[in-house]
């Protein structure tokens, strides 16, 4: 029996200029361009194996060990069909290649971070899906233009997924083609080796209630928020400026724009009818602490040393040059004591709670253990990786491991 399979991993990305709003729901075309930082797969990633053979009777997916019917999931199906179409074109061009585009696929996907962490996994998940199918189907991937083409397919799984196909700093251009969406694609601004000093601290904030999903939330914002109209007219200027800041490695401007855009996104969520609250009191306390940390630096004649950003949930991501991370982690632990001693993976030492000299400790109250239930210290990272068969998520008989 001829079996073909491909295993890859793909990274998580966290936007500095947020995507929020669609102008076309089915093609997933955004109302504004966005920009993100790809985070290292050493700490956070989705791994996916795609496998095909003539004998498979239906398309199947196992997501973190649970079986899902692909044919019932519109977005998964769109993504898979788009990849198959590309394979068909490839087979038409190379008639000697096996006609695997007609065969059903089995896909197994896993995240190396717990779903309970509340981190969005759809971006890395759909990027891994598109990338693994591209490999399975022998589609060209050597050129950045090929990856950018592939991002059109990942985008139709989940908008933010298109940005996870590149490492480093990535822009999702909104495009003008409303009919096919052929120019709404990801492009790399700079790769992860360009500014490797950029680190990220993810503060996992406890969240018991089930929030509004990004998809539903942004749709409601488009329909009801007046402030949103202002946002989509001005976001592009911020994007131009942050791109320049990245290319100049100007952290101060990068931080200013990142925080402004996060604030504006959450203001627009609040301006939605009925209002959407993604941040909670712990999120706001983290904003207070980062703001005070920057104030101390600026008061001493320095610049901003950290930037917070929040997606559609209460978790904070703090971007900062790696050299500031010890201070930042110390400060976060001071206000949000951790259940276990936090051993930093970069310094390989346990970091204790502490504040920098001149810090006004009254900016937030010291929270109970568990308010921030975990910390992940990571850094900017590379794009999807092709993995060897030893990492495959199926065993030799095609059963999920």
Residues engaged in binding ligand DP6 (CB under 6 A):
15, 18-20, 28, 34, 120, 122, 158-160, 214-215, 311-312
> Counting beta carbons within 10 angstroms of the beta carbon of residue 210, is it exposed (0 to 12), middle (13 to 18) or buried (19 or more)?
exposed
Neighbouring C-beta atoms of residue 300, cutoff 10 Å: 10
* DSSP letters spanning 290-347: HHHHHHHHHHTT-----EEE--SSS-EEEEEEGGGHHHHHHHHHHHS--SS-EEETTT
CA 62 to CA 239: how far, in whole Å? 37
Residue 324: CB minimum distance to ligand DP6, A: 24
Q: What is the number of helices (H) and of strands (E) in the chain?
A: 8, 18
User: Which residue's CB is nearer to ligand DP6, number 87 or number 266?
Assistant: 266
Residue 227: CB minimum distance to ligand DP6, A: 16
Q: Report helix angle 251-270 to 226-247, nearest 10.
A: 170
Q: Which two tokens stand for residue 164?
A: 């996870």
CA-closest candidate to residue 263, choices 281, 282, 242, 284: 284
| Residue 318: strand pairing partners | 201, 308
Residue 244: CB minimum distance to ligand DP6, A: 20
Residue 185: CB minimum distance to ligand DP6, A: 14
User: Which residue's CB is nearer to ligand DP6, number 174 or number 351?
Assistant: 174
Residue 27: CB minimum distance to ligand DP6, A: 11
User: Which residue's CB is nearer to ligand DP6, number 22 or number 326?
Assistant: 22
User: Which residue's CB is nearer to ligand DP6, number 137 or number 172?
Assistant: 172
User: Which residue's CB is nearer to ligand DP6, number 239 or number 332?
Assistant: 239
Phi-psi region of 181 (alpha: psi -120 to 50; beta: other; left: phi over 0): left
| Residue nearest ligand DP6 (C-beta atom) | 159
User: Which residue's CB is nearer to ligand DP6, number 59 or number 122?
Assistant: 122
User: Which residue's CB is nearer to ligand DP6, number 266 or number 305?
Assistant: 266
Residue 399: CB minimum distance to ligand DP6, A: 30
Residue 216: CB minimum distance to ligand DP6, A: 8
| Residue 316: strand pairing partners | 203
């Amino acid at each position: 029996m001829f079996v073909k399979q491909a295993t890859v991993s793909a990274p998580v990305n966290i936007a500095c200029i947020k995507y929020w709003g669609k102008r076309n729901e089915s093609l997933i075309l955004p109302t504004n361009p966005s920009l993100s930082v790809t985070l290292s797969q050493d700490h956070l990633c989705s791994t996916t194996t795609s496998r095909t053979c003539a004998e498979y009777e239906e398309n199947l997916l196992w997501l973190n060990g649970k079986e899902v019917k692909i044919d019932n999931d519109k977005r998964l199906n769109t993504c898979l069909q788009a990849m198959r179409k590309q394979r068909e074109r490839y087979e038409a061009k190379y008639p000697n290649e096996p006609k695997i585009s007609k065969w059903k696929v089995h896909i197994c996907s896993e995240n190396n971070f717990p779903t309970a962490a509340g981190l969005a996994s759809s971006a890395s998940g759909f990027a891994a899906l598109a990338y693994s199918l591209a490999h399975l189907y022998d589609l060209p991937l050597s050129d950045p233009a090929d990856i950018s083409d592939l991002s059109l397919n990942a985008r139709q799984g989940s908008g933010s997924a298109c940005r996870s196909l590149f490492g480093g700093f990535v822009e999702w251009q909104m495009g003008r083609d409303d009919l096919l969406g052929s120019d709404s694609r990801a492009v790399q601004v700079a790769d992860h080796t360009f500014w490797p000093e950029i680190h990220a601290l993810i503060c996992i904030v406890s969240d018991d209630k089930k929030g509004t999903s990004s998809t539903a939330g942004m749709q409601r914002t488009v329909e009801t928020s007046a402030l949103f109209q202002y946002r989509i007219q001005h976001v592009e200027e911020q994007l131009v400026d942050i791109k320049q800041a990245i290319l100049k490695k100007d952290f101060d401007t990068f931080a200013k724009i990142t925080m402004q855009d996060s604030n504006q996104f959450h203001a627009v969520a609040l301006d939605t009818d009925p209002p959407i609250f993604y941040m909670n009191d712990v999120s706001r306390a983290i904003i207070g602490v980062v703001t005070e940390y920057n104030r101390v630096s600026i008061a001493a004649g320095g610049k901003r040393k950290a930037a917070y950003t929040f997606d559609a949930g209460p978790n904070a991501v703090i971007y900062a040059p790696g050299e500031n991370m010890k201070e930042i982690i110390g400060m976060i632990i001071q206000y949000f004591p951790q259940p276990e001693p936090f051993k930093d993976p970069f310094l390989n030492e346990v970091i204790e709670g502490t504040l920098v000299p001149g810090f006004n400790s009254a900016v937030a109250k010291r929270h109970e253990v568990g308010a921030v239930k975990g910390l992940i210290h990571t850094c900017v990272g590379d794009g999807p990786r092709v993995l060897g068969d030893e990492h495959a998520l199926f065993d030799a008989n095609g059963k999920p491991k």
